[in-house]
Amino acid sequence: MKSLSIQFPGLYQFVRYGLVGAINNLLGYLIYLLVTFLWLDPKVAITIFYPVGAITAYFGHLKYSFSYAGKKRNALMRYIITYLFSYGVNYMLLFLLSDLLGFPHQAVQVLAILVVGNLLFFMLKYFVFPTKERRDDLRI
């Protein structure tokens, strides 16, 4: 019988991505809750801690989630662009849903983690860590 990773490579990759993301986001969300409870504005908190989470996730996604074998420098540049974009999405969700519409920032951040996490999977898979066939098209 073929292994699941061979039969369903996309699903297997998504599960690995989810494991890296779950660990990274759980720790990040707990820190977010603590610092926003103690003193920090939610948008300031994500501005400070987003880069930390992005750096730790980079290594997990590079090696484990996507097993990337291309040029690391090019992938890192695309990764930075992708995470700047995802930070903007996260910030706008907090601003719109919490500041303007009045939803609790804690719930909005959970929603943002889910929305941004799914968006990031596709951006990382197809833009940051593409397969060899798509790699030549991405010279950033």
**Is 42 within the bounds of a domain?**
yes
Q: Is residue 81 part of a domain?
A: yes
d(CA 65, CA 58): 10
Give the tens place of pLDDT for each residue, 59-96: 999 999 998 989 999 999 999 999 999 999 999 999 99
pLDDT tens, position by position, 89-140: 999 999 999 999 999 999 999 999 999 999 999 999 999 999 876 655 555 5
Total domains, the chain: 1
**What pTM value is reported for the model?**
0.84
The whole-number pLDDT of residue 1 equals 41
- Euclidean distance between CA atoms 28 and 107, whole angstroms: 14
Average pLDDT for residues 10-36, to the nearest whole number? 93
For residue 135, the model assigns a pLDDT of 56
140 found inside a domain: no
pLDDT score at 111: 98
State whether the Cα torsion 82-30-64-51 is positive or negative. positive
Q: What is the pLDDT of residue 5?
A: 64
For residues 32-49, give the mean pLDDT.
94
Its domain, for residue 92, covers 9-135
DSSP per position, the chain: ---HHHH-HHHHHHHHHHHHHHHHHHHHHHHHHHHHHHT--HHHHHHHHHHHHHHHHHHHIIIIIS---S-HHHHHHHHHHHHHHHHHHHHHHIIIIIIIT---HHHHHHHHHHHHHHHHHHHIIIIIS--HHHHTT---
